[in-house]
Structure 1
Amino acid sequence: MSQSNESRETQASHATHGTIRWERDADGVVTLTLDDPERSANTMNAAFVASLTEVADRLAAEADTVRGVIVTSAKDTFFAGGDLAELITAGPEDAARVFETGLRVKKALRRIETLGRPVVAAIGGTALGGGFEIALACHHRIVLDAPDCRVGLPEVTLGLLPGGGGVVRTVRLLGVVGALRDVLLEGRRLRPAAARELGLVHEVVTTRDELLERARAFVLAHPESAQPWDAPGYRMPGGTPADPRLAQVLPSLPATLAQRTGGAPYPAPRNILAAAVEGAQVDFETAQTIEARYFTELVTGQTAKNMIQAFFFDLRAVNSGAGRAATAPTRPAARVAVVGAGLMGAGIAHACAAAGLDVVLKDVTHEAAARGKEHSAGLLAKALASGRTTEAERDAHLARITPTAAAGDLAGCDVVIEAVFEDQALKEKVFEEIGGAVAPDALLCTNTSTLPVSRLARAADRPEDFIGLHFFWPAERMPLVEIIKGERTSPEALARAVDLARRLGKSPIVVGDARGFFTSHVIGRFLEEALAMVGEGVDPVSLERAAAAVGYPTPPLALLDRMTLGLPRRVWQEARAAAEAAGETWRPGPGAAVIDRMIDEFGRPGRGAGAGFYEYEEDRRLRLWPGLRTHFAREDAAVPFGDMGERLLFSESLAAVRLLQDGVLTSVADANVGSLLGIGFPGWTGGVLQYVNGYPGGPAGFTARADALVERYGRRFEPPALLREHAAAGRPFHDS
């Protein structure tokens, strides 16, 4: 071979096509390495779409010299999915562009898939959404069994559906029911072993070297590989919708879907179901077009924008530690004292131990503290039975928890988390007793949901190290921690609290000190509004159904029962005492009389007593108490069904705007994430402030609707001045 020919061969074997590197070895095996030079992660942006099209064209043109293809990545993750920054800006006017771009991606992947040569995905890191759709277009999928590696199609959790052929291919791989149940409607992020068990991947390996070795071995051993659905005699698992067996199941799917969503306005599950069923009845190419149309509808709609903003951008900001000062030093916790071994304290201790922290769990007696440790033992027993942990991991976890009744055993603890009953005097006593036992510079945290942190800090010698750390029950499972800054909390203490919450795997939001802070205050408005409607004579069944129809996971009367009706009454009594002590006039909410009658007149204080707004049998909720209709409901209660749901949503969003106006909230992301992860604000809204942004007409439309609610239902719906400013300027609520 001449020098010039050798040079041309070298150039042909190694090339870069935008975000994809091409390398062909002496055996004709082409390795496509996904590597966007402008990003830390590969995404399905315009540059990648162009690169993918160029590579597909080249593979088709040089098919005679290609023995097979390996698709891998140079990034820590295989491929991060769609470019959400691009998707969130697409409006109805962009529908044609979105649709054509989607078809362009599908066409390129289909050309590679039908090349007539083996195509292998060597997945060395997480492949979610568009990344896993690329893998599904490969004939063989091999995944590295790394601890943080996940694969799947989670688009439904962002209000979308897989738009790169994911619906079409999973339906043909697993069948309509299997694809919907196991992949598409849940949006699960699967570990490699679980993905292999479902049949989504073929091999799981333990090293990166083995990943590429196995990929190359498959290529060399399967010279004419193809997808199952392109093979002669292919039959869809479970049959097509024309099959009598599947035809019997299909009519139940919409009802099942409605039950899952409670009738709330989540268009993505509906579109996924439609794309799956319709696409199963036609050829592959037509199914791809159907998928693209349903995808375009979602991308250009408002719900996906709400959910992308909240569950990606806002959540990423919160989880990155945006609430702490960037200049504050990092000081990892090592030994944590949890004081109070009830369900909340035991759950906090479990979460700390799970994060690798040594925990001293203190209560008034050793027996009570030991019962708190048994809570962890019970949780770990279930995890062991389900294969989520090992005996060695269980034993190590339990060894990190030391139950005690002696304050002296807290010596050396650099963090204290007090988790006793919600009583100010009791909490103050705890900090007085342990102040000299823990490390002299220990971070002092109180797990309170309503009590002002600055007042509690007076019982501590070091108010600058004192902070609120509000966990949500069950603490070991709930993903949110609300961090409350006291008047004298230092930036260093705040940074330590944020870092601790992140170490525990929680999302930390940071709020200012006020009665109820953010989450308890806002959910209080939700419950008060529901009680107000009961007092107005609204049918209780309609009220609970209206809450479900707008997406609340637990309707208000059921939630009140679970909390016990005495809790809001006690909170109101404390608020009244505080207001009167400050010389202010106390005005009870419109629902206070309902709570008083339920407790004092009817003796129905909630689920714990077996009688509340609902009837119970052995702690199992049966039905709404018929007496609600007898004693409260009125036929002349003229509240339209749609107004019921909107009143609940508006009560919380307006409260959040007021807290932002008053400085209790300082971050829009904190408000949205806190409302979604902490108090069950409906996910389709994107959170309490994104709901304002996404309301028809934006903040101006929301303000106009609030003014209409004022006219009909009272001054509590009065838009705050900050909301009117945003409405007048046409400015949505976003962090700068």
Structure 2
Amino acid sequence: MNKSKHIKYSVDKEGIAIVTWNVADSPVNIMNENTMAEFFLTINQAIEDNAVKGIVVASAKKDFIAGGDLKWFLNYDKSKEECFEMLMQTNNYLRKMETCGKPIVAAINGLALGGGCEVALACHYRIMSNHPKSQIGLVECSVGLFPGAGGTQRFLRMMGSQKTVEYITQSKKLTAQQALKDGIVDAVCTTEEDIILLAKNWILTKGTCEQLWDNKKFKVTGTPFGVGQVSGVSEFFSVANATAYKTTHGNLPHIKNVLSAIYYGAPCHIDRALEIEARYFVDTLFSKETKNIIRASFLFINDASKGKSKPKGYETTSFKKIGVIGAGMMGAGIAYVNAKAGLDVVLKDVSLSKAESGKDYVKAQERKKLEGGLTTEVKIEALVQKIQASDSDTDLANCDLIIEAVFENEKLKNQVTIATEKVIPEDVIYASNTSTIPISQLAKASIKADKFIGLHFFSPVEKMPLVEVIVGKETSEKTLAAAIDYVIAIRKVPIIVNDGRGFFTSRVFGKYINEGITMLTEGVPPAVIENVAKKIGMPVGPLAVSDEINLKLIVDIMSEDPNLTSHEIQLKSKLVSIIEVNGRTGKKEGKGFYDYPKDGRKAIWKEWATIYPTHTDYNEEEIGKRLLFSMVIDSYKCLDSGVIREPKDADVGSILGLGFPIHTGGVMSYIDYVGAKAFAVYSEKLQLKYGERFTLPESLKERIEKVGSGRVFYNN
């Protein structure tokens, strides 16, 4: 009799065993040491029972199997050898399923991702529900891992090398129809059909029990070596490796290792290929980069996206209609994401034509999707209809929340606040999308400072997931709780930031920009600065991003800050000279650190070497460290002063808002990534050479001294 906690077992009168995943105390079926042990024990029971003719693997939950338990992987405390043995034992069980002589069907409802997909691949037949939320795929690369239970080798033998590399490295999730087309599933059923009954019928009428790779005549399509070689395959792997390095600069071991597992596993028998995959998986799991990515992406970002930082004791606040003031790119983007989330929007500007131009921006973004077949004319029209263009304050009277997104000018923002509060109810929250002006300062124009808060979106709003929720001195906890509910409702990721000039992301990113420009003025070749920035994992170089922001705006922001350091004062003076003497202001005007010709091929301005003579005695490692250390040290100052409440908020904000290299875990994790003592030693070296901005706060020095060779912020 089966007494499993997580796996249910039954055999019907026709001799079909039903093995049902139903993990206890979890909303989804997850794979870990306990659930997998029960699953294989139950499968083995069915295999060993002579009365069982075939097996159906199913789920009692809305999804099939959501994948591996990442918390288990993050806290995995056994040796590499034990990990390898565990993987090989898993592979042996899956191979026993494939070679047991009994047909096994995966009845896939909902999600079959990661390890869940791998279990399905080891079955002889796969039926998938065509529910809109049903998806299947090997998505481990999205969290710094790759398939470790045969996924790379079974995908390879089903689809060939090109699609396998593409689908796995990009963590593609396939709909039922896409999976059917690619041969990942064998049949698709409607949600009304009984998927288990269909599985049983296949076993009784057509059931076969041989995987295609167990046929002696089978050859992998496009094997890179020997028999079965297809012209161009070796070249494909060479290009794939080169492309991966160009994209990751060797910072992401999981990408390098998955390509190696696919390449070296391709010419082998499946059993040898599974061993190759397992060895590369172990190497990946035990890398510090993978641990950082799992912790940052799965734990911290996932928790933030669920609103775990919301103050306790407040009911969920729902929103139906949002007022957005300012129909420029930011305001239009905010209106867009609200409409996409199903909320009605009033998009107001000083004239109806300007408000309509904001709607046109939304249409333009949707048109791009239409060209790619990702939406329809009907859906676009329905979306746009949710946005009401307006030039009247009175149209804001029935909104549940107001978001001001006008130009970054304090006087203008104050005027808008005063005018808007005259028409909206007293209990409506008023939020400013400012990126630099302190919320407490802006709240002085409000008659209800307790309901005044900052919601700092990032550009382009429709693509950037982060929202800084900025708490002013008088912002109430109730307002904060409601703001968190709102950000979650529009499917963004909130972090809570206490008030301060530049808040967190703008302030810290300013250090990155400042350091890049400083190095240019010191004579470091601009191309070197930009290329090193990308090598360390930043998405855009500091000079290119300065052009995007505009040098005039950077100077204006610095001018408003009464607490500039001596280094920043000197840098500001040099920026003023670049603007006034050299006429370089940024991308908008077509000339900044780069030239922007009409053909769109931007290039670094050639005259920088005559203004700041370049030298060749630069050190690339030092350049990269200066860029990252400048952000990390200032981030710690934000934590130390209370601007950021928790280290994990800084990590989430830096990854999602600044593009800080995810393999390091974020700005606070970076200290542990480098090594606490090594970080302190290198900081001192930079301080002696470049000045006080690299001096560590005393409290950080104390933390580092206290942990010795340990970790400053997180234990894993």
Which residue of the other structure, out of 697, 706, 710, is the alignment partner of 1:729? 706
Which residue of the other structure, out of 632, 648, 654, is the alignment partner of 1:675? 654
What is the DSSP-based 3-state SS (H/G/I as helix, E as strand, rest coil) of the residue aligned with 1:620? coil
What is the DSSP-based 3-state SS (H/G/I as helix, E as strand, rest coil) of the residue aligned with 2:105? strand
The 2-side partners of 1:515 and 1:264 are apart by: 36
Contact 1:88–1:305 under 8 Å retained in 2: yes
Displacement after TM superposition at 1:437 (Å): 1.4
Amino acid at match of 2:42: V
Name which of structure 1's ranges 243-252 and 513-522 shifts more when overlaid on structure 2.
243-252
Give the corresponding residue for 2:174: 190
Distance 1:686 1:621, change over 3 A: farther
Contact 1:607–1:619 under 8 Å retained in 2: no
Displacement after TM superposition at 1:587 (Å): 5.4
Give the corresponding residue for 2:428: 442
The 2-side partners of 1:129 and 1:269 are apart by: 16
Distance 1:322 1:721, change over 3 A: farther
Displacement after TM superposition at 1:264 (Å): 4.4
Give the corresponding residue for 2:358: 372
Give the corresponding residue for 1:270: 256
The 1-side partners of 2:48 and 2:364 are apart by: 61
TM-score, normalized by length of structure 1? 0.93
Aligned: 1:515 with 2:501: yes
Displacement after TM superposition at 1:689 (Å): 0.9
Aligned: 1:715 with 2:702: no
- Unpaired stretches in structure 1, ≥5 consecutive residues: 1-10
The 1-side partners of 2:66 and 2:543 are apart by: 41
Distance 1:116 1:633, change over 3 A: farther
Amino acid at match of 2:648: A
Which residue of the other structure, out of 535, 548, 551, is the alignment partner of 1:565? 551
The 1-side partners of 2:683 and 2:565 are apart by: 25
Amino acid at match of 1:611: K
Give the corresponding residue for 1:117: 102
Give the corresponding residue for 2:139: 154
Deviations 1:567-589 (A, max 9, x none): 211111111xx34xxxx986535
Distance 1:277 1:365, change over 3 A: same
Aligned: 1:338 with 2:324: yes
Aligned: 1:534 with 2:505: no
Tell me the C-alpha RMSD between the 2 structures.
Answer: 2.1
Give the corresponding residue for 1:48: 35
Distance 1:218 1:611, change over 3 A: same
Contact 2:17–2:52 under 8 Å retained in 1: yes
Give the corresponding residue for 2:472: 486
Give the corresponding residue for 1:176: 161
Contact 1:56–1:111 under 8 Å retained in 2: no
Contact 1:82–1:130 under 8 Å retained in 2: yes
Aligned: 1:689 with 2:673: no
Name which of structure 1's ranges 596-605 and 455-464 shifts more when overlaid on structure 2.
596-605
The 2-side partners of 1:76 and 1:526 are apart by: 45
Amino acid at match of 2:603: R
Q: How many residue pairs get matched?
A: 710
What is the DSSP-based 3-state SS (H/G/I as helix, E as strand, rest coil) of the residue aligned with 1:394? helix
Alignment of 1:573-584 (within 5 A): 573-575=559-561, 578-579=562-563
The 1-side partners of 2:625 and 2:599 are apart by: 31
Distance 1:628 1:193, change over 3 A: farther
What is the DSSP-based 3-state SS (H/G/I as helix, E as strand, rest coil) of the residue aligned with 1:635? coil
Give the corresponding residue for 1:104: 89
Contact 1:118–1:222 under 8 Å retained in 2: no
Displacement after TM superposition at 1:628 (Å): 1.9
Displacement after TM superposition at 1:715 (Å): 1.6
Contact 1:279–1:288 under 8 Å retained in 2: yes
Contact 1:324–1:491 under 8 Å retained in 2: no
What is the DSSP-based 3-state SS (H/G/I as helix, E as strand, rest coil) of the residue aligned with 2:596? strand
Which residue of the other structure, out of 141, 144, 150, is the alignment partner of 2:129? 144
Contact 2:105–2:125 under 8 Å retained in 1: yes
Give the corresponding residue for 1:225: 209
What is the DSSP-based 3-state SS (H/G/I as helix, E as strand, rest coil) of the residue aligned with 2:423? coil
Deviations 1:369-414 (A, max 9, x none): 1111112222233333433334443232222111011111112112
Amino acid at match of 2:699: L
Amino acid at match of 1:664: V
Displacement after TM superposition at 1:293 (Å): 0.5
Displacement after TM superposition at 1:566 (Å): 1.6
The 2-side partners of 1:65 and 1:223 are apart by: 16
The 1-side partners of 2:287 and 2:501 are apart by: 38
Aligned: 1:653 with 2:639: no
Displacement after TM superposition at 1:542 (Å): 1.4
Amino acid at match of 1:642: E
Contact 1:140–1:202 under 8 Å retained in 2: yes
Deviations 1:531-569 (A, max 9, x none): 121122112121111111111111111111122222211
Contact 1:17–1:54 under 8 Å retained in 2: no
Displacement after TM superposition at 1:321 (Å): 0.9
Amino acid at match of 2:162: V
Amino acid at match of 1:177: Q
Amino acid at match of 1:290: I
Amino acid at match of 1:690: S
The 2-side partners of 1:251 and 1:332 are apart by: 52
Deviations 1:495-544 (A, max 9, x none): 11111111100001110000000000110011111112112211212111
Contact 2:333–2:461 under 8 Å retained in 1: yes
Contact 1:17–1:51 under 8 Å retained in 2: yes
Distance 1:592 1:194, change over 3 A: farther
What is the DSSP-based 3-state SS (H/G/I as helix, E as strand, rest coil) of the residue aligned with 1:438? coil
Displacement after TM superposition at 1:167 (Å): 0.7
Amino acid at match of 2:35: F
What is the DSSP-based 3-state SS (H/G/I as helix, E as strand, rest coil) of the residue aligned with 2:668? helix
Which residue of the other structure, out of 318, 322, 328, is the alignment partner of 2:308? 322
Amino acid at match of 1:200: I
The 2-side partners of 1:670 and 1:418 are apart by: 24
The 2-side partners of 1:147 and 1:443 are apart by: 35
What is the DSSP-based 3-state SS (H/G/I as helix, E as strand, rest coil) of the residue aligned with 1:188? coil
**Percent of residue pairs bearing the same amino acid type:** 36
Displacement after TM superposition at 1:632 (Å): 1.7
Amino acid at match of 2:653: G
Aligned: 1:31 with 2:18: yes
Displacement after TM superposition at 1:215 (Å): 1.9
What is the DSSP-based 3-state SS (H/G/I as helix, E as strand, rest coil) of the residue aligned with 2:528? helix
Aligned: 1:356 with 2:342: yes
Displacement after TM superposition at 1:222 (Å): 2.2
Give the corresponding residue for 1:412: 398
Deviations 1:671-717 (A, max 9, x none): 1111111111112111111112222x3x3332232222222322211
Give the corresponding residue for 1:5: none
Distance 1:593 1:135, change over 3 A: farther
Name which of structure 1's ranges 183-192 and 164-173 shifts more when overlaid on structure 2.
183-192
Aligned: 1:422 with 2:399: no
Displacement after TM superposition at 1:56 (Å): 4.2
The 1-side partners of 2:694 and 2:457 are apart by: 29
Give the corresponding residue for 1:620: 600
Aligned: 1:664 with 2:637: no
The 1-side partners of 2:635 and 2:715 are apart by: 15
Give the corresponding residue for 1:8: none
Amino acid at match of 1:565: L
Contact 1:534–1:591 under 8 Å retained in 2: no
Distance 1:265 1:516, change over 3 A: same
Amino acid at match of 1:236: V
Contact 1:141–1:201 under 8 Å retained in 2: yes
What is the DSSP-based 3-state SS (H/G/I as helix, E as strand, rest coil) of the residue aligned with 1:251? helix
The 2-side partners of 1:260 and 1:203 are apart by: 36
The 2-side partners of 1:621 and 1:723 are apart by: 44
Distance 1:517 1:217, change over 3 A: same
The 1-side partners of 2:183 and 2:116 are apart by: 17
Alignment of 1:304-323 (within 5 A): 304-323=290-309
Displacement after TM superposition at 1:469 (Å): 0.5
The 2-side partners of 1:423 and 1:359 are apart by: 24
The 1-side partners of 2:188 and 2:664 are apart by: 38
Amino acid at match of 1:33: T
Contact 2:317–2:486 under 8 Å retained in 1: no
